[in-house]
Amino acid sequence: MRIQVLVVSEIRFFREGLANSLGGEEALEILDAVSPDAVAATIRHRRPDVVLLHVSIPSGPRLARTIAAVVPRVGMIALAVEEDECSIVAWAEAGVAGYIPPDGSLTQVADAARLVSQGGAACTPHAAAVIVRRISRLAPGPPPRNLTTREVEIAGLVEEGLSNKEIGRALSISLPTVKNHVHNILDKLQVDRRSRISVRSGSLYPL
């Protein structure tokens, strides 16, 4: 079954061009390409699986909330998202599950649509790091099990599935430093492998 996609952009030639380009993807069915003003009526009628949003902040996150209220289970992907913390957090809090940076490719957009339609999330390592930092800051109480703030942050990225190299790039630290932190986390949690690190409600527990 093909993934039904709605393209939304403030710029007509952008949304029409993206819709035409993605139309060649075998797994995707482009339902329509519309302006933000036409979204509410369109999603009520067409019920897409995934909505691609190319809308500036703060209008974009507000629109995402409207979409989620009408079709609660729809997957949403924000396009051309600047990788600063404010932008990423604004979209995340609005319920968006996928983020494509300004230099992202059509292949990334198509892959993200497939992943998000299955209930997954699609974002760069940097965006993942920003979201985990946000969760860590909102979590009540001190870091669990004597982990430092940096170790809590890295543990969250480990659970997200990032490799040591990806974590280093996302946090701008060296690979040996990442390895040292991971070793300390495993030691403090008294687990023997990274797959047993879990972040739940802002806290760490060994599985």
Name the amino acid, one letter, at 107. Answer: T
Phi first, then psi: give them for residue 42, nearest 5 degrees.
Answer: -70, -45
In a shared domain, residues 53 and 88: yes
Same-domain status, 119 and 19 = yes
Q: In which residue are the tokens 């289970």 written?
A: 73
71 and 17 co-located in one domain: yes
Q: Minimal CA–CA distance to 57: which of 43, 30, 36, 32?
A: 36
* The predicted structure's pLDDT at residue 115: 93
Average of pLDDT values for 29-58? 94
Q: What is the pLDDT of residue 201?
A: 35
What local confidence, expressed as pLDDT, does residue 57 receive?
Answer: 87
Q: Both 169 and 107 in a single domain?
A: no
* Separation CA 178–CA 184 (nearest Å): 10
Question: Does the pLDDT value for residue 190 go beyond 70?
Answer: yes
Give the closest residue to 109 by CA, choosing from 10, 11, 5. 5
| pLDDT grade for 51, boundaries at 50, 70 and 90 | very high
Looking up residue 105, the CATH number of its domain turns out to be 3.40.50.2300
Give me the mean pLDDT over the 63-87 stretch.
91
Element (H, E) at 137: helix 125-138
* Cβ proximity of 175 and 168 under 8 Å: yes
For 85, the domain range is 3-123
Same domain, 190 and 140: yes
pTM of this structure: 0.67
Residue 15 above 50 pLDDT? yes
Distance of CA 152 to the CA centre of its chain: 19
Q: What is the pLDDT of residues 91-137, one digit of tens each?
A: 998 999 999 999 999 999 999 999 999 999 898 888 888 887 777 66
The pLDDT of residue 203 is 41
Among 140, 120, 138, which Cα is nearest to 130's? Answer: 138
Residue keyed to tokens 């995707």: 28
Residue 18 has pLDDT above 70, yes or no: yes
Q: How confident is the model over 13-27, as a mean pLDDT?
A: 94
Give residue 168's pLDDT band: very low, low, confident or very high (50, 70, 90): confident
Q: Of 123, 151, 177, which closes a domain? A: 123
Tell me how many domains the chain contains: 2
